[in-house]
Each structure stands twice: as structure tokens, then as C-alpha cells.
């Protein structure tokens, strides 16, 4: 009986062992198949991922090249000024007795690009400094000096320096300057060279001028307001507001040009009226009211800033897609010729 039981137990153990071995073998086989399939899928996924990344890198490289070429086209006037400045310095160095022996004609060519680059960068820095000083003088004349004069007459204006300067700056620079001092209908000698000699596309030339003006004024006015004693928060806020208003002023001038020819023809007189109104609002009203409202601090409201930036982006898009730049260029060239005659 005991032997029978032992034999049964041994047979059961053998059967269970065989079942376990077969199960383990089956599991190993399927695990290997799963591993192989996962490995194959991972290889396929990595191949697809590599292809996608290569395409993305190619697209990014192409877009970067297009962006660089567009930047070169947009700021072509500044690039021309860069090389003009470098060549001008080389020209003057060649007229200095002890220096001209070290300056050769090779500097005008590609052999001495590093020297020319240094000279060009120096000229650009001097240009930026000169532009900054002009705007600083403007701010002192139309913002700081009126604040001091009105402060002698109105103690509330003198005691509230920050809000007073913000008020004068927004009226005279942000609002009045954006409407009357637009770039679209002005034609300097350099603009004439770019449009009629070098034959730069008029839409790229005008858009580049507007974009350059926005970027530089954001930096210049932030520094100027800090110099005038405004806190950094309100300096950057007012500068952003001013920057955002620039394309809006250009947009208004183009709308008048497209839809109100008679009004556009009288823009000189209208600009005079706008400037006179700005003078009254900026300098007479504070004297009459004996104070400046603190509601001007609400310019730092984030919802207001977001709204004005949305308007800025929308007007920039309009300026970029505007179709009549060539007509504007022709009119401004004609007006400049008539003024010279």
C-alpha cells in the first residue's frame, strides 16, 4: 500500500515536473518571440523617428535660412549703413599721416573682413548712441522741463513726479508721436537710394523701418525713463505701450491714404492740429486741474497690455500684407521732388 502511494506520488511529481518544464519552455519561447517582436518594433520606431527628426532638422534649417535671409532683406538699409560706415572709417584713416601706411586697399575687399567688421560695429554703436542722445534730448525738452515748469506752478504736479512724467511722455511721445511721426510717408535721401537705386522691395523696406523703430525705441525709452526717475516697472510698461502704438500709427496713416484722399493731402495741417491738441492736453489741462490723475497708473494693467499687444500684432500683420507700398513709395518720391523744386 505504501509502495503504491509512493509510486503514485512519484508519478504525479514526474507529471507535474514535465508539465512545469513544458510550461517554462513554452513561456521562454513566447518571451523570446515577444522580445524579438518588441526589438523589431523598436527598430522600426527608431528608424521612423530618425527619418522624422531628419525631416524636422531639414525644415528647421530651411526656415532658419529663410529667417536669416528675410532679416537681411528687412534690415538691408542697416546692413548697407554698416558697410558704408566701415568704408568711411577706412577712407579717413588713409588720410591720417602716421596711420595711412598701415591701412591698405585690401581692407575694402574680402581679405580684411575682420577689420572691416570692427569698423562697421564701431559705426553702428556710434549711430545707436547718437539716436539715443537725440531721444534723450527730446524727452528732456518735452517731458522733464515741462514737469519742472508746471511743478513750480502746481505743487501736486511737482510732488507726484512719476505719474506726471508718465502722463507727459504718453501724451507727447506715445500718442502724438505715433500719429504724426510715422515712417510711411517720409522720404529721405537714403530711402530714395534704397528704393530707386538699390531697388529694394518697398514692402520689405518700409516694414524693416517700422520694425527697427519699434525695437530700438523699446530699449531707448526704457533707459530714458529710468534716467528721468521712473521705476523699472513703469519704464518698461510705458516703453512697451509706446512700441505697440507705433504700427497702429502707421496703420491709421495708411487707412487715411486708402480711404480719404483729401484728408491725406492735408496731413501737414492735420499733424499741426494734433500736435497743438497734444500740447494743450499735456501742459494746459494739468495747470487748469492743478493735478494729474493717478488713473494713468492703470497702464500697467495686464489686461490692457495684452489687449494693446494683440492690436500691435494685428496691425503688424496688416502692414506686412499691405499691397500698395509701391504706390506709397511713388507718391513720397514725387512729393520729395516737388518739395526740392
Tell me the average pLDDT across 149-154. 87
What is the tens place of the pLDDT at every residue in 56-73?
666 656 655 554 555 555
Is residue 220 pLDDT above 50, yes or no?
A: yes
Is residue 18 pLDDT above 60, yes or no?
A: yes
CA 202 to centroid of chain Cα atoms = 20
What would the DSSP string read from start to end of 50-111? Answer: HHHHHHHHHHHHHHHHHHHHHHHHHTHHHHHHHHHHHHHHHHHHTTSTTTTTT--GGGGSST
Tell me the average pLDDT across 222-229. 93
Q: Exposed (0-12), middle (13-18) or buried (19+): which is 318, by Cβ within 10 Å?
A: middle
Cβ atoms 158, 151 nearer than 8 A:
yes
What is the tens place of the pLDDT at every residue in 156-201?
888 888 999 999 999 999 988 888 887 777 766 676 667 666 667 7
CB burial readout 21-49, b (16+ within 10 A) else e = eeeeeeeeeeeeeeeeeeeeeeeeeeeee
Q: Coil, strand, or helix at residue 286?
A: helix
Q: How far apart are CA 331 and CA 75, in angstroms?
A: 23
Note the pLDDT of residue 155: 86
Say if pTM beats, i.e. exceeds, 0.75.
no
DSSP 291: S
Q: How far apart are CA 295 and CA 329, in angstroms?
A: 41
Degrees, nearest 5: CA angle 168-174-176: 85
Which among 28-37, 59-68, 110-119, 176-185 has the top mean pLDDT? Answer: 176-185
Q: How confident is the model at residue 137 (pLDDT cuts 50, 70, 90)?
A: very high
Q: Exposed (0-12), middle (13-18) or buried (19+): which is 192, by Cβ within 10 Å?
A: middle
- Per the model's pLDDT, the better-predicted residue between 256 and 138 turns out to be 138
Q: For residue 150, report the phi and psi dihedrals to the nearest 5 degrees.
A: -65, -30
Note the pLDDT of residue 338: 46
Other CB atoms within 10 Å distance of the CB of residue 219: 13
Note the pLDDT of residue 83: 67
Other CB atoms within 10 Å distance of the CB of residue 250: 26
Is residue 79 pLDDT above 80, yes or no?
A: no
Q: Where are the domains of the chain?
A: 2-73, 131-340
Amino acid at each position: 500500500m505504501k509502495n503504491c502511494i509512493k509510486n503514485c506520488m512519484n508519478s504525479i511529481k514526474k507529471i507535474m515536473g514535465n508539465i512545469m518544464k513544458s510550461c517554462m519552455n513554452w513561456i521562454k519561447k513566447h518571451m523570446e518571440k515577444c522580445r524579438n517582436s518588441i526589438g523589431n518594433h523598436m527598430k522600426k520606431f527608431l528608424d521612423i523617428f530618425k527619418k522624422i527628426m531628419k525631416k524636422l532638422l531639414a525644415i528647421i534649417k530651411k526656415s532658419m535660412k529663410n529667417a536669416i535671409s528675410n532679416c537681411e532683406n528687412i534690415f538691408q538699409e542697416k546692413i548697407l549703413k554698416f558697410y558704408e560706415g566701415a568704408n568711411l572709417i577706412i577712407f579717413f584713416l588713409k588720410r591720417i599721416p602716421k596711420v595711412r601706411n598701415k591701412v591698405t586697399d585690401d581692407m575694402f575687399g574680402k581679405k580684411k573682413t575682420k577689420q572691416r567688421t570692427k569698423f562697421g560695429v564701431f559705426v553702428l554703436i556710434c549711430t545707436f548712441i547718437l539716436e539715443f542722445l537725440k531721444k534723450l534730448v527730446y524727452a528732456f525738452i518735452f517731458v522733464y522741463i515741462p514737469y519742472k515748469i508746471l511743478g513750480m506752478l502746481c505743487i501736486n504736479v511737482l510732488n507726484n513726479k512719476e505719474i506726471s512724467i508718465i502722463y507727459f511722455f504718453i501724451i507727447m511721445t506715445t500718442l502724438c508721436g505715433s500719429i504724426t511721426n510715422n515712417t510711411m510717408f517720409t522720404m529721405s535721401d537714403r530711402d530714395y537710394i534704397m528704393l530707386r537705386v538699390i531697388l529694394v522691395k518697398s514692402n520689405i523696406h518700409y516694414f524693416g523701418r517700422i520694425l527697427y523703430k519699434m525695437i530700438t525705441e523699446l530699449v531707448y525709452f526704457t533707459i530714458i525713463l529710468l534716467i528721468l526717475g521712473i521705476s523699472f516697472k513703469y519704464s518698461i510698461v510705458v516703453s512697451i505701450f509706446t512700441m505697440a502704438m507705433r504700427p497702429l500709427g502707421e496703420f491709421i496713416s495708411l487707412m487715411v491714404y486708402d480711404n480719404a484722399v483729401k484728408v491725406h493731402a492735408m496731413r501737414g495741417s492735420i499733424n499741426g492740429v494734433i500736435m497743438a491738441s497734444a500740447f494743450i492736453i499735456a501742459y494746459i489741462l494739468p495747470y487748469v486741474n492743478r493735478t494729474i490723475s493717478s488713473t494713468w497708473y492703470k497702464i500697467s494693467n495686464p489686461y490692457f497690455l495684452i489687449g494693446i499687444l494683440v492690436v500691435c500684432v494685428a496691425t503688424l500683420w496688416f502692414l506686412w500684407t499691405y499691397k500698395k507700398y509701391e504706390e506709397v513709395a511713388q507718391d513720397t518720391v514725387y512729393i520729395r521732388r516737388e518739395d526740392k523744386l
